[in-house]
Amino acid sequence: MDSREKILEVARDIFQKKGKSGTRMQEIADAAGVNKALLHYYFKNKDGLFKEVFVDLIRKMLLPLKQQMFQKNLPLEDRIQNFVDGYINSLKENPLLLTFILGELSMNNMPFVPPPEIGEGIIQLGVELKEDEEFKHIDPFQLATTIIGSCVFPFIARPMLIGLGLEKSTTFEEFLEERKKILPQIILSGIKIK
């Protein structure tokens, strides 16, 4: 069993749950079944361990975004449908991921340099909107923010939504499934001309 990998694995979980400053090195060591000094042996200090975990998680978060952003040779309708579907699915597998990253990003103002493909994908979206007579000429960043935000928001705001009365008639799970169906409809009618 690789200790280094084990440490990273549990550190990922704990950091996500409790945030950087809420997490204790001892706690990670215990959970990984190793001595605390070993964390320092491999990662020098808390910052080092955190940074390694953090870039890992950023990558993990961006991967599905990247995958769903780029599907050339498909009509926009299908691409949006696929995006919403695929992205919500991947968020379901890591419900804490987004809140954690966005929270840490806003506290420590860490540098955030995503791979350029995503930004390019958004630009590309704008080009296609301009080319197709069927769609309005909307700023692609506005559109992307709307689409991504609509997918992501339920996960970030889950406790709030539940407090607001969601889950009184449906489960969160059902709500998400319904969302995968309805969101592409709303967005598509929103950007189509008439």
Partner DNA sequence: ACTCGAATTAACCATTTAGTTAAATTAGAG
Partner DNA sequence: CTCTAATTTAACTAAATGGTTAATTCGAGT
CA distance 20 to 30: 17
Nearest by Cα to 97 from 40, 15, 9: 15
CA distance 11 to 20: 10
CA distance 171 to 162: 9
CA distance 54 to 52: 5
Which of DNA, its own copies, none does residue 69 bind to, with CB < 5 to 8 Å depending on kind? none
Work out how close the CB of 26 gets to DNA at its nearest, in angstroms, rounded to a whole number: 5
Among 18, 37, 149, 171, which residue interacts with DNA (rule: CB under 7 A)? 37
Q: Is residue 167 left, alpha or beta, with left meaning phi > 0 and alpha meaning psi from -120 to 50? A: left
Q: In the stretch 29-68, what mask flags binding to its own copies with x, by CB under 8 A?
A: ----------------------------------------
Among 9, 17, 18, 26, which residue interacts with DNA (rule: CB under 7 A)? 26
Which of its own copies, DNA, none does residue 19 bind to, with CB < 5 to 8 Å depending on kind? its own copies
Specify the residue, 39 or 144, whose C-beta has the smaller distance to its own copies.
Answer: 144
Q: Which long-range contacts (CB under 8 A, 24 or more apart) does 154-158 make?
A: 154/179, 155/91, 155/95, 155/98, 155/99, 156/98, 156/99, 156/102, 158/95
Specify the residue, 7 or 187, whose C-beta has the smaller distance to DNA.
Answer: 7
Q: Is 158 in the site for DNA (CB under 7 A)?
A: no
Q: Which stretch binds DNA (CB under 7 A): 31-39, 68-76, 151-159, 186-194?
A: 31-39
Work out how close the CB of 93 gets to its own copies at its nearest, in angstroms, rounded to a whole number: 16
CA distance 183 to 181: 6
Work out how close the CB of 11 gets to DNA at its nearest, in angstroms, rounded to a whole number: 12
Could you tell me how many residues of this chain bind DNA (CB under 7 A)?
18
The SS3 call for residue 135 is: strand
CA distance 55 to 7: 15
Binding site for its own copies (CB under 8 A): 17-22, 96, 99, 101-103, 105-107, 109-110, 112-114, 118-119, 122-123, 138-139, 141-143, 145-146, 148-150, 152-154, 156-166, 175, 178-179, 182-183, 185-192, 194
